[in-house]
Amino acid sequence: MEVFISEWLNLLLRWAHLVVGVGWIGTSFYFIALDLALRKREQMTPGVQGTAWLVHGGGFYHVEKYMVAPDNLPPDLKWYQWEAYLTWVTGFALLVVQFYWNAEAYLIDPSVMDLTPVQAIAISVVSLAAGWFIYDGICRSPLGRNTTALAVCLFVLIVLSAIAYTQIYSGRGALIHVGALVGTFMAVNVFGVIIPNQKKVTAALIAGETPDPEMGRIAKQRSLHNNYLTLPVLLMMVSNHYPLLTNHPHAWLLVALVLVMGAMVRHFINRHDAGDPMASFAWTLPAGGVALLAALVLTAPSGSLSTGPAVADEVALTITQTHCAACHGASPSHEAFDEAPKGIVLETTADLRRYAPLVLAQSVHTDAMPLGNETGMTDEDRARLGAWLNAQD
């Protein structure tokens, strides 16, 4: 019953998280593109900084941007904030249901650090909160006045968090925490900085006062961080399906490369939206390409793991009986599972052949499975299983 409930909660939260996340990132992309599409035109309404013409869904839109609010702000001014808040709330709830609830399976790897579930969860909560205060502190420090220095600090902070998390959690647990931390920066930027500053500016304007320009500068800076972090954070969120990332011995380096790739692609899109000449920003593509190439080289299978002397069927079956069957049996004995995860039953040699590419990816080229290496599968067993799988055709 508990498994049934956690499965449904997981599914519904994931669905909700995707929907509100798409809403948040969608509006974020839209407003950045809109901002960059603004042009000064003749005969603009007084107070308007630029206008944009857009076409979508069978209609034409003419949008005007006021830097200083118009004399009369309508009462039905639409704010964009709930998408961000709900993305964080559903994301955190999902972290609880998937990673805290089954901390031993998903979060902890005793060979990395032998934590109890309570310790693992406490580290998670404290690190997410502390990470935000460090990030916010850096932005508010004198460093925050220099956009480039701040960007470098932010990059280093995220890479350091990846190094720390990979020393504490399982591969999956580590990368989802990098994603959760960056997602927290982004959501709290909206909740704690961008929206409050915007409210103060709006209130000042309504009261006929001149708003503090510092408010706008800070909000814009946080918005810029959110803009460049969007693509990397999305990859971190799906990283759990890719053991070549999560279970890489230098996963933190891959995080650094993903940050570079994501930021380069985002910069390309931004400058393209702004209508800049391609030659002025085309350098982002080779720069991102070099990062991708480095990631490909880093993750290339070594080959040595999956070759070796011939391995008998019985040996391969004993290995999977010992290390996989508790979860991947037709009726698993592991308490966290009512049925084989993802429907992948690994009981016979035919099963193993059928799922050979997946098993190689999860248990031979990486140590993603058994989950959290609960059964303590050794490199020798992985090599033997790999040799057996590679001998089948």
Which residue in 324, 383, 387, 389 binds ligand HEC (CB under 6 A)? 324
Minimum Å gap between C-beta 383 and ligand HEC is 13
Which residue in 48, 287, 315, 358 binds ligand HEC (CB under 6 A)? 358
Chain centre to alpha carbon of residue 240: 10
Q: Is the dihedral of CA 48, 52, 55, 57 positive or negative?
A: negative
CA pair distance 301, 317, nearest whole angstrom: 24
- With respect to ligand HEC, which residue has the nearer C-beta, 10 or 27? 10
Half-sphere exposure of 26 (CA within 13 A, CB side): 9
Minimum Å gap between C-beta 342 and ligand HEC is 5
Residue nearest to ligand HEC (CB): 324
CA pair distance 253, 247, nearest whole angstrom: 12
Which residue in 16, 33, 265, 344 binds ligand HEC (CB under 6 A)? 344
Q: Does position 342 bind ligand HEC by CB under 6 A?
A: yes
Q: Does position 245 bind ligand HEC by CB under 6 A?
A: no
Half-sphere exposure of 55 (CA within 13 A, CB side): 1
Which residue in 362, 386, 387, 389 binds ligand HEC (CB under 6 A)? 362
Which residue in 323, 383, 384, 386 binds ligand HEC (CB under 6 A)? 323
Q: Does position 326 bind ligand HEC by CB under 6 A?
A: yes
User: Are the C-beta atoms of residues 138 and 154 closer than 8 Å to each other?
Assistant: yes
Q: How many residues bind ligand HEC (CB under 6 A)?
A: 25
CA nearest to 270, candidates 234, 225, 228: 228
Q: Which residues are within 8 A (CB) of 254 and not within 5 positions of it... i.e. 6 or more apart? A: 245, 248, 295, 298, 299
Site residues for ligand HEC per CB under 6 A: 105, 240-241, 320, 323-324, 326-328, 334, 341-342, 344, 346, 355, 358-359, 362-363, 369-371, 374-375, 377
